Every structure is written in structure tokens, then in C-alpha cells.
Amino acid sequence: MSAQPQGNAPAVAHGAAGVIAARAKGAAAEGPDEAAIINDMLSGYLLLVLGCISATLVIWRLSTGLSRYIRHVSCLTNDTQTYFARAGSKWSWFKKNVQYSPIFSKRHNREFQLSSAINVGTLPTRLQLVFLLGYFSTNVAFCVMGIDFSKPVAASATVFINRTGTLAVANMIPLFLMAGRNNPLLYLLGISFDTFNLLHRWLGRIVALEALAHTLGYLYRTAATKGWSVAFEGIFKSSFLIYGFVATASFVVIAIQASSVFRHAFYEIFKILHICLAIASVVGLYYHLGPKGFPQIKYLYPVMVLWAFDRTARFLRVAYYNFGSGGGKALVEALPGGSTRVTVTMARPWFFKPSQHAYLYFPSVSLWQSHPFSVAWSEEADSPSGEKLPMDRRDILAMKKTTVSFILRGRTGMTGNLYEKAASCIDGKLVTRCLVEGPYGGMHQMHSYGTVMLFAGGVGITQAVPHVRDLVIAYSNGMAATRKVILVWTIQSPEHLEWIRPWMTEVLGMEKRREVLRIMLFVSRPRSTKEIHSPSSTVQMFPGRPNIDTLLAREMEDQVGHMGVSVCGPGALSDEVRRAVRNKQYNGAIDFVEEAFSW
């Protein structure tokens, strides 16, 4: 995930805050129509805040994309690229202290684990924290802005109830947008799904808190005159209140069961329950708002459209790439270290790019579950059917069979069950049905960098291998600025080399590979020193773990052009690489890309 400037939410709304506060003070006295106008204005400003931040990020993405394109074209025939290797002091400061910075010194992607079964999640980056605190503070301020709580409960509580309810429904628009796999903002803003997932979780908590405040405000208003028993009993005497209570209860339960502890411990159950509760909340709100014609229903319609769009797009992706022409058949191979290599035959050509991922469904293992995995390899082979010669481009494409491959580390749930089924078969190979939903991602391409360092830990190698192949081919064809590619892969045992052996054999046999590619393998738990041997000067093996600072400093001494550093692996490795890149910002031009899937 490459951190991007995300703005300060309160700053966007600050100019209008005084005007709204002045109008809001008299809303209760002037009647419900004025209060409704104020609530709509506040909801509109919340969405405007997000719109302004999005527009800023679009400009950021366009400017950085243009910069990369100019650098790429300028360096195609430039072997030194000295100009692009220089670091600007202001830009280096921004990247070190803002763009790539964790909240504190180093920790960001490494999870906080109280035990092997209790995981309490990760920390956001400094920029993400600023946005989250700003947006949360803006919501709190808007919930109470201009309300005179010294007035009778009936007046002040009514304004508060309507205000919190309106803001909760309005916030559901970005909440559901950020949850979608086909979120158009992913590509427009250049923000990773992992970041949107983080924002989705925190927006969900804001919606849950506002819905809870809305319900408690109603109960308090009723209890102030009739008592708490009457207030609670009244909820179940009206369908209007029952549906509202269902929506609030759904939000609160989602907020609890979506916490990191429950999400990691019972992910399969969490996912199904999460979808069911989200549906219940939308249905409850629809029947809470619709029959009485409340104006807040206008915010719920986009929510339903976004959810329907994402589900339809997902179904179409699955149908297009998997149904017909022998698609959807997978070869599952049990590998050392409890991992599996899954090779799926697609029904139609897949235009593959490095850093893409897809969601895999195994109906025979887990009917409804899908999980994201990096695409490690993709190949096309001719598969002629009959003796008919191809007459046009459509016929030629129909003769191509695309296979995509993944490495799945066996853990609990689906991946563990899949490994056990494959390991129990003859030769450790299983042929089964697999549906691939994708491709997604592919935003981080490395052709514009003169020097590329790819760090991988364990199955994180699946993100690095496509970049290696892509860069070697591009270098050989004179289509990349890249002159040096360094792959650093940390594994626990030499047996894990089997995960990618067929693909790396092909890469090592490519034209001009020795001119551009060096591979360093670090074995953290070798059984003996005899296992550690380097095949050549460009493929070296070492015991222990890599010293990221030392490796990065060594490559920067002979840096060619702008350096791009990518990492995919355990959180501790990602944090270590991030820290090293931040510390080297003043030594040369260097960018950082983190590929991660948080769940």
C-alpha cells in the first residue's frame, strides 16, 4: 500500500461551520422544517468533505503519474539517470515524516497479538490517523453543533435525534462504497483496497455510534416524561420503531463482531454474519424511513445502488472468466511448508499485470467463502479445437487458454482444508473446481524506476515474481527505465523454494537476465550449513534474516536513477523495510510501495 495525502476533514468544513451553527441555534424554535434543512446541510458538508479529499487525491494521482511517465520515457536510453537519482530535501522530508510515516517510530503493519488466538489488529499510518481523527471529530461536532441543551428535553433531544439519524444514514454512502471490491475510487484515487478496508471499518464504527446515539436519544426523550419502562416497551408497539431498532441493533452487532479479535478468530463466521447484518440494517432502515416519507430515504437509495452494482459486477467477473470453454478447472498441488500451488484454467484470456490479485472460490471446500490472493504467474497456451483455421481476432483469442497460478499458505479454514485434501491425494495433486473473481489491483508498476528492490517474506514472493518477470522482459526489449532489479526473499527452509521453482527456472533462462537481475535468498531456519549454497554470483543464498538497512545502503551507493522499493510479507518485515526507506530519504530518490491484505 502506498500512502497518499488524504487531507484534513475539519479544515474543509471549517468555513461553513459558523454559518451552520448560527442557523442551528434557532432550528428547534423555528420548527421541524428548519431543523431538517440544517441536517441536510450538515450531511451535505460531510459528503463534500470526502469529495474535496477525493478531488485532491485525483490531482495527486495525475501529477505523480505524469511524473513517472516522463521519467520512464526519458530514461529508456539513459543508463546513468543521474538527474532522477537526486533527492529533493523538501520532498524527502514529506515522504519521511508524512507519506510513509507510521504513527510512532516503526510499527504499522505488524499485528498486535495477545496470544496465538487473540489478534487486536494493526496501527494506521500517521496520515491515515490524521484523516480518521479529523473525520471523526467533524462528525462529533456536527452531531451537537448549535443544539441548545439548556432548553427542555423535548426540544433539544428532538433536534439531536434527527441530527444523528440523518448523519448516520448519510455516512452509509461512503461506508458501502469503500466496502466494494469494484469501488471505482480504487483506480481514480490510487489508494489500495487495504486502505479502503481500514476506512470502511472506521466509518462503520462512526455509523454505529451515530445510530446508537439516535436510538438512545429517542429513549431518553420518552423516558424524561413517561419513564424508562414505557420508553422500552414503546419500541415494540410500532413497526416504525421496530424497524429502526433492527437497523441500530444490526449496526451495533456489526461493530462488535467486526473488531479484530472476533474477525481474526472466527473469520468464516464473521464474513457470513457481516453480510447478513448489513442486509438487515438496510432493510430495517428502508421500512423505518420509507413508509413515513422521511427525507433521509434519499441517502439510502445510493447505498442500495452501490451494493447492487458491486454484487452484479462481481458475478459478471466470475461468469466471464470461468464459465464455458473449459474454464474453472484447477490443479491443486500440496507443497512443503503446508502450502498449495493452485493453477486455474480460465475460460477467456486474462490480461495480466504484476501486483494483481483475485478472490478464489472452492465450492467443494467452502461453498460461500472467497479469499484474496496475489496472482503469482500467468501463462497463455494455444488450445486449438478442431481443424478450423482462425478467421479473425475473436477466433484467435478463442484458441488461447490462459492459466493463472497462486500460492496459498495453509492456515485454518479454507486454506487449511484445501491443503489437507491435496496432501491426501496420490502425488499430492488434486483436480477440483475453482472460480476466480478478478483481476483486481495492478496499480503499482515499476517500469519507471532505474533501480528496483523487491522484498518478500514467505508467500509474499507471489507479489514479487510477476514484477521480476515483467521487468526482465521489459529490459530485454528496451521498454523500461530499469537497469537493476534486486529480489530479496526470506524463507524458513530451502524446501520453500519449491513453491516457485518452475517459474523461477523460466525467469533465470530469459534473455539478458544476468545483466539486470540479482536474487538474494535468506533462510531463517536452516537445518544445517550444507543447505546454504549459492548457485551463481547473481543467485546467492545466506543463512539468517536480511539486514534491510545494510542491503538498502549498499544498493544506493551504486543507485541508477530513481529507486523503487516494494515489500510483501509478514508485518514485521514490512515495517522494517518501511523504516529503512524512511531513513534513506535524504540519501537519494527512493519510493516505497507496500502490498498488504488486511482482514
Q: Does 490 score more than 90 pLDDT? A: yes
Domain with CATH 3.40.50.80 in the chain: 451-594
SS3 336: coil
Where does the pLDDT of residue 535 fall: very low under 50, low under 70, confident under 90, or very high at 90 and above? confident
- What CATH class does 324-383+398-441 carry? mainly beta
pLDDT at 9 over 60: no
In this prediction, residue 12 carries a pLDDT of 43
Measured N-to-C along each axis, helices 126-144 and 193-226 cross at an angle, to the nearest 10 degrees, of 20
Q: Cβ(366)–Cβ(417) under 8 Å?
A: yes
pLDDT value of position 13: 44
Reading the block at residue 148, the C-alpha cell is: 441548545
pLDDT reading at 20 higher than 70: no
DSSP string, 166-187: HHHHHHHHHHHHHH-TT-THHH
Q: What is the pLDDT of residue 56?
A: 94
Contact indicator for 325, 314 with CB cutoff of 8 Å: no
pLDDT tens by residue, 523-534? 998 888 888 888
Sheet holding 329-335, edge to edge: 377-382, 400-409, 339-345, 329-335, 429-433
- Residue 386 pLDDT greater than 60, yes or no: no
Compute and round to an integer the Cα radius of gyration of the chain.
Answer: 27
Residue 14 pLDDT greater than 70, yes or no:
no
Taking alpha carbons only, the member of 507, 490, 484, 497 closest to residue 456 is: 490
Total number of residues shown for the chain: 599
pLDDT, average across residues 271-284? 95
As given in the structure block, the three cell numbers for residue 263 are 474477525
Looking at the chain, the whole-number percentage of residues with pLDDT higher than 70 is 90
At 518, give phi and psi (nearest 5°).
-125, 140
Question: What is the reported pLDDT for 599?
Answer: 65
Quick check: 68 pLDDT over 70? yes
User: Which part of the chain is CATH 2.40.30.10?
Assistant: 324-383+398-441
Which CATH number is 451-594's, of 3.40.50.80, 3.40.50.300, 3.50.50.60, 2.60.40.420? Answer: 3.40.50.80
pLDDT at 11: 46
| Range from 202-206, 218-222, 392-396, 444-448 carrying the lowest mean pLDDT | 392-396
Look up the pTM and report it: 0.89
Least confident of 148-162, 393-407, 469-483: 393-407
Return the SS3 of 549.
Answer: helix
| Mean pLDDT score, 374-393 | 67
pLDDT of 488 above 80: yes
Cis? peptide before 439, omega within 30° of 0: yes
- At residue 324, the pLDDT reads 82
In DSSP terms, 431 is beta-bridged to: 331
Eight-class DSSP state of 113: B
Q: Mean pLDDT, the chain, as a whole number?
A: 89
Record the cell numbers describing residue 428, joined without a space: 499430492
The per-residue pLDDT for 210 is: 97
Asked if residue 30 has pLDDT above 70, the reply is no
pLDDT beyond 80 at 34: no
Strand partners, 184: none
Q: Cell triple for residue 267?
A: 473469520
According to the model, what pLDDT value does residue 325 have?
77
pLDDT band at 73 (very low <50, low <70, confident <90, very high): very high
Residue 122 backbone phi and psi in degrees, to 5? -120, 175
pLDDT of residue 7: 44
The pLDDT score that the predictor gives to residue 578 is: 96
468/512 Cα distance (integer angstroms): 13
Mean pLDDT on 57-76: 95
Is pLDDT of 268 > 90? no
pLDDT in tens, 348-362: 888 889 999 999 999
Average pLDDT over residues 430-434: 94
Residues 6+ apart with CB under 8 A from 282: 247, 300, 303, 304, 307
Q: Mapping DSSP to helix (H, G, I), strand (E, B) and coil, where does residue 447 land? A: coil
Residue 266 or residue 331, greater confidence? 331
Q: Cα–Cα distance between 161 and 158 in angstroms, integer?
A: 5
pLDDT digits (tens, 9 = 90+) for 550-590: 999 999 999 999 999 999 999 999 999 999 999 999 999 99
- The whole-angstrom separation of Cα 191 and Cα 335 is 34
Mean pLDDT, residues 156-161: 92
The dihedral region occupied by 85, where left means phi > 0, alpha psi between -120 and 50, and beta the remainder, is alpha
Whether residue 560 contacts residue 85, with contact meaning beta carbons closer than 8 Å, is answered with: yes
